[in-house]
Amino acid sequence: MKISKALRVLSCFAALTLVAACTKSYTAQKTAAGLNPWTIPGTLRIGIPDEPDNLNPMFAHTAETDEVDQLIFAPLFRYDDRGEFYPELATVLPSYSNGGISTDGRRITIHLRRGVKWADGAPLTARDWLFTYHAVMNNANNTKLRFGWDNIASVILPDDYTIVVRLKAPNADFLGNLASGGAAYPPLPEHLLGKLPDLNRANFNNSPLSSGPWILQRWNHGSSLEFIPNPNYWRGPPKLQHLTLRVLPNADTQLAQLQTHEIDVYPGVNEDQIERVKSIPGIIAQQRLVANWRHVAFNTRRPTLADQRVRLAIAEAVDWDRILATIYHGVNIRAHSDVYPRSWAAPNIPLYKYDPTDARRLLHDAGWTMGSDGVLHKGPLAMHVTLSATTATHANEQTEVQIQQDLKPLGIAIEIKNYPTSLMFAQSGPLYTGNYDMEWSIDTNGPDPDNEGLWSGRFIPPKGADTSWVNDPTINADSHAAILTYDRAKRKALYQKEEDRIHALVPAIFIYWEDQYNAWNSDVKNYKPAPFIANNWNSWEWEVGPPSAQGTPTSH
C-alpha cells in the first residue's frame, strides 16, 4: 500500500463527518455490468489484523496462519460453514458404517483421491501424509502440538492412496488431526522436504509449495500476502484471478479501508464499529456465533498467582458484565466454559459472581495483607502482576485499563504489557515460554469438544498448548478419558466433571463467545463465514463480478 494512500485514508477517518464525506462518492449507480463502482472483477481483497507467524502449520499458532493455510494447503478434511467435516483429499469420512473406523475404535482407514498434484506437478500421495506424521513426531522439529499424533501406534500404506492408522487407544477426536487448526496438519511434500534433518528453518515455512487452491505469489512482510490460482489444484483453479490478504493491524484502518473500498472483506468487525459497517452502501454485514472465546488466562506457576484463591478473587473483583456491555457493546454472549455453547457437550457451569467484598476475604485467607504502598504483600512477595494482550484492537487496551482499575483497590497492581499477535502466540513468545502473569486473549475451537491439549499437564509447553501450566490429576484424567470413548453421553459427563474442576481451580476466566460480524462487498459471491477455525474454507468457490471475469469454472 502506498504511503500517500495510507495517510489519506487515516486522515479521512479522523472524524466521523469526514469519513462520511470520504465514502459519499461511492453511493452512485452500479456500473453497466451491474456491479458496485469500486468492484474489481476477478479480484478479492481481504483485510487481516496481523500477518502469520509461520506458514508451516506445524510451527504456527495464530488464527491468520489458519486462514492462509486454508488457501495454500489441501488437508484430508475441511470444516464447512456448519462445522461439519468436508472431504478434501480424502474421498469419504471414515465411520463405523463404511468400515473406515473399526469396531474397537483403534483402526482408522482413509482413502485418498487419485490424480492430486502439488503445484510443481509432483503427485500428492499417502506417502506425503506418512512423511508428515514422521516430521510431526521427529524430536528435532519444534512441533507446536503432537496431541493425537502421539496416540498413533503404527501406520500402514497398502498403496499410495490408502492410509491405515492403528491407534494406541480410541481417540474420538482423531479425525480432527486430519482436518484444520490446532494439532491438525495437512500433508507436506516429501519430495521437497524429505532430505532435511529438520524443518525448523526450512525455506518452505515462509514460501510453501501449494497443494490447495492458491499459490502464494508474494509475501510483502508487514503489508500483504498476494495469491494467484493454483492450476494444478484437483478441483481446477479457483474462480477468482487474484486474491490479496492486506495486513491492517489497526481496526480503525480496517474500517476506513472498507469504507473507501480498498478492501472487499472485513472479517471479525470490531464491536464498536458494527453500526457504522451496517450503514455502508454496497456492504453485506452478517452476524453469527463463532467458536472464538475470550478469556483471562493465568500463569499458575507464578508465585503471586499459584494459589487458586487469588485467581478466584480476581475473577470476583472485576465487573465482567460491565466490560461486555460497554467496551464490547453488548454484542457477545457470556461464556461459562471453553466448550462451544451450542455443542452437544456444553456443560452446566455457573458464572463467577461479581463480589469485591468476597474477593478481599479470599485474598486475606490466602495470606495477603495490604502494605503502606497500597499493594498486597505476603512475605517477600508483592502483588505486582503483568497483564498482556495483543495490540490489534482498542477494546483490548480498554479492557486492560478497566481490569487494572477494578483490581487496584484490592491491592493488586497491574502492569500492562502488550505484544503484536505474531509475537504473543509465537513458540518463543511470552505465552509458550511462560514469560507472563495474566493474558487477555481470544482462542478458537474446532467442532469437537476435546480440550485435553489446553488443560492437561501432559501438554505443558514445549509439549503442547497448556500455557496456564495447570497440572491437575482430575483434569488430566477426565480430559483424557473423554477422548477414549465414542459414546457421546459418556463424553458429555466427563466434560462436565472436567469443567467443574476447571471452574474450581480458575486457571482461566471465561468471558464471552464471539457473536461475530463479518462484512463484505455485495458483489462477492459464495463467501460463507464459518463458525469454526477459518472463513477461507471454500475459497475456490468465491466470485467477484460477472462470470466472464472469473477463472476457469471448478467442480465441487
**How does pLDDT run across 89-111, given as a tens digit for each residue?**
999 999 999 999 999 999 999 99
Mean pLDDT of 341-351: 95
pLDDT of residue 462: 86
Among 6-10, 323-327, 501-505, name the one with the lowest average pLDDT: 6-10
What are the tens digits of pLDDT across the range 310-320?
Answer: 999 999 999 99
What type of residue sits at position 29? Q
Classified as helix, coil or strand, 277 is: helix
pLDDT digit string, tens, across residues 198-227: 999 999 999 999 999 999 999 999 999 999
What sign has the CA pseudo-torsion 221, 227, 230, 235?
positive
Opening angle at CA 505, ends 305 and 417, nearest 5: 35
pLDDT value at position 63? Answer: 85
In a domain, 67, yes or no: no
Q: How far is CA 325 from CA 9, 369, 399, 469, in A?
A: 30, 33, 12, 31
The pTM assigned to this predicted structure is: 0.77
DSSP 81: T
Would you state the torsion angle of the CA atoms of residues 489, 491, 496, 497, taken in this order, to the nearest 10 degrees?
Answer: 120
pLDDT at 463: 83
**In sequence order, what are the beta bridge partners of 44?**
243
Is there a domain that residue 374 lies in? yes
Max Cα-Cα span within the chain: 77
Q: Are 292 and 267 in contact (CB under 8 A)?
A: no
| Residue 471 counted as domain residue | yes
What pLDDT does 301 receive?
Answer: 97
Q: Tell me: the pLDDT tens digits for 143-190?
A: 988 989 999 999 999 999 999 999 999 998 899 999 988 889 999 999
DSSP strand E in 4-56: where?
43-48
Return the pLDDT at 74. 98
Write out pLDDT tens, residues 485-534: 888 999 999 999 999 999 999 999 999 999 999 999 999 999 999 888 88
Q: Does position 87 have pLDDT exceeding 90, yes or no?
A: yes
pLDDT tier for residue 422 given thresholds of 50, 70 and 90:
confident
pLDDT of residue 9: 31
Cβ neighbours, 10 Å, residue 68: 28
CB neighbour list of residue 15: distance below 8 Å, 6 or more residues apart: none
- Going by C-alpha positions, the residue among 436, 453, 435 that lies closest to residue 444 is 453
**Residues 491, 373 share a domain:** yes
H/E/C letters for each residue in 497-521?
Answer: HHHHHHHHHCCEEEEEEEEEEEEEE
CATH number at residue 257: 3.40.190.10
CATH number, domain containing residue 81: 3.90.76.10
Instruction: Name the average pLDDT for the chain.
Output: 91
Task: Note whether 481 and 383 are same-domain residues.
Answer: yes
Look at strands 369-370 and 43-48 and give their pairing: unpaired
pLDDT at 14: 34
Q: What is the pLDDT of residues 55-74, one digit of tens each?
A: 999 998 888 999 999 999 99
**Domain span at residue 492?**
290-514
Query: What is the band of 21 on the pLDDT scale with cuts at 50, 70, 90?
Result: very low
Q: How confident is the model at residue 391 (pLDDT cuts 50, 70, 90)?
A: confident
pLDDT at 83: 84
The answer on pLDDT for 26 being more than 50 is no
Contact 438, 387 (CB under 8 A): yes
* 240 and 380 in a common domain: no
Residue 248 lies in a domain: yes
Cβ 418 vs Cβ 390: under 8 Å = yes
Using the 3D structure, point to which of 174, 204, 234 is the last residue of a domain.
204
In a domain, 458, yes or no: yes
CATH number, domain of 324, equals 3.10.105.10
Contact 213, 235 (CB under 8 A): yes
pLDDT for 549 equals 52
In the predicted model, is pLDDT for residue 19 greater than 50?
no
Residue 94 domain-assigned (yes or no) = yes
> How much of the chain is helix, strand and coil, in % rounded to 5?
30, 20, 50
Report the pLDDT value the prediction gives residue 10, as an integer from 0 to 100: 31
Do 97 and 194 lie in a common domain? yes
Final residue of a domain: which of 184, 204, 224?
204
Q: Does the pLDDT of residue 447 top 90, yes or no? A: no
Q: Is the predicted pLDDT of residue 11 greater than 50, yes or no?
A: no
Euclidean distance between the first and final Cα of the chain, in Å?
A: 35
Average pLDDT of the segment spanning 419-437: 90
pLDDT higher than 80, residue 550: no
pLDDT of res. 515:
93
Which DSSP state fits 297? E
Q: Is the pLDDT of residue 283 over 50?
A: yes
In a domain, 294, yes or no: yes
3-class DSSP assignment, residue 456: coil
Q: Are residues 415 and 464 in the same domain?
A: yes
* Percentage with pLDDT > 90 across the chain: 79
Q: How many domains does the chain have?
A: 3
The pLDDT assigned to 164 comes to 98
Residue 219 lies in a domain: yes
**Do residues 167 and 231 share a domain?**
no
